[in-house]
């Protein structure tokens, strides 16, 4: 019996060592989109909207930090990841931005029947390295965020409006922290565009 216990202990120790070796420590980053500026709608919005589950293009439903190489290849930054998946980060950012602008917007998890639903698909959420004019990539990449957005009226499932929203911001340096800041700035610009377009939908003001 004692031999069996010792053998089991050694086996568990070996398993723990294997799991640790397969899970290297990675730095985690939060997405910060606010720069102190609040975009406020000039028209009060009273009709509630529910943000549906955010969809993504292939490769973007991940916690990894993504980069696009000069040859168009989608790659990842080693040992770096977000605190949550890209869709979950953007869900929080979209709701925060729209609420700050005066919209009555609710998360996908809310148990209520709103008259309108907002669908968002992530097309891009990465930093892009472009050629600098020779064979070498540019030293400082550009963060790019591209979202497809559709406002749907639920009673007849009719799309009221559809937009392609984008934002871009150059990183100050080719290091992780400036890349994260650039993605936050690009997201902020994209969501400002969403706020402007959504505020122009006259049906929401009735």
3-state secondary structure of 197: helix
DSSP secondary-structure letter at 71?
A: T
Q: What pLDDT, on the 0 to 100 scale, is given for residue 33? A: 87
| pLDDT at residue 19, as a whole number | 31
Position of tokens 């390295």? 129
- Assess whether pLDDT exceeds 70 at residue 28: yes
- Superfamily of domain 27-205, CATH level 4: ABC-type transport auxiliary lipoprotein component (3.40.50.10610)
Tokens describing residue 47: 């009709």
The residues facing 135 across adjacent strands are none
- Residue 99 has a pLDDT of 92
The dihedral through the CA atoms of 64, 190, 180, 138 has a sign that is positive
Burial label, 51 (beta-carbon count in 10 A; 0-12, 13-18, 19+): buried
Tell me the pairing of strands 116-128 and 142-153: antiparallel
**Weakest mean pLDDT among 20-24, 35-39, 52-56, 171-175:** 20-24
2-11, 88-97, 153-162, 173-182: segment of lowest average pLDDT = 2-11
Closest CA to 97 of 195, 199, 202, 201: 195
Percent of the chain topping pLDDT 70 = 78
Total length of the chain: 206
Q: What mean pLDDT, rounded, does the chain reach?
A: 83
pLDDT of residue 37: 57
The yes-or-no verdict on residue 94 having pLDDT over 80 is yes
Distances from the Cα of 56 to the Cαs of 45, 62, 87, 149, 196, in angstroms?
A: 28, 10, 7, 12, 23
Instruction: For 111-135, write each residue's pLDDT tens digit.
Output: 788 999 999 999 999 999 987 655 5
In the 3-class helix/strand/coil scheme, how is 105-128 assigned residue by residue?
EECCCCCCCCCEEEEEEEEEEEEE
> What are 40-66's pLDDT values in tens digits?
555 556 689 999 999 999 999 999 999
For the four alpha carbons of 85, 141, 121 and 56, in that order, the dihedral sign comes to: negative
Confidence of residue 23 (pLDDT cuts 50, 70, 90): very low
Cα distance between residue 73 and residue 80, in whole Å: 18
- The model's confidence at residue 26, banded by pLDDT at 50, 70 and 90, is confident
Q: What percent of the chain has pLDDT over 90?
A: 67
Q: SS3 for 115-180, per residue?
A: CEEEEEEEEEEEEECCECCCCCECCCCEEEEEEEEEEEECCCCEEEEEEEEEEEEECCCCCHHHHH
pLDDT of residue 202: 77
């Amino acid at each position: 019996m004692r031999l069996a216990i010792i053998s089991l202990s050694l086996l568990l120790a070996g398993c723990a060592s294997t799991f640790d070796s397969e899970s290297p420590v990675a730095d985690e980053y939060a997405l910060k989109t606010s720069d102190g500026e609040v975009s406020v709608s000039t028209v009060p919005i009273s009709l509630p909207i529910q943000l549906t589950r955010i969809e993504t293009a292939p490769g973007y439903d991940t916690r990894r930090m993504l980069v696009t190489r000069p040859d168009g290849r989608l790659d990842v930054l080693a040992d770096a990841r977000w605190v949550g998946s890209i869709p979950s980060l953007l869900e929080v950012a979209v709701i925060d931005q729209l609420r700050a602008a005066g919209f009555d917007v609710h998360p996908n998890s809310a148990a209520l029947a709103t008259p309108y639903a907002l669908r968002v698909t992530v097309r891009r959420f990465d930093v892009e390295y472009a050629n600098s004019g020779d064979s070498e990539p540019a030293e400082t990449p550009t963060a790019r965020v591209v979202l497809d957005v559709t406002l749907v009226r639920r009673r007849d499932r009719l799309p009221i409006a559809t937009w392609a929203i984008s934002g871009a911001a150059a990183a100050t340096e080719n290091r992780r922290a400036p890349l994260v800041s650039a993605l936050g700035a690009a997201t902020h610009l994209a969501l400002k565009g969403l706020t402007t377009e959504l505020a122009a939908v006259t049906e929401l003001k009735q």
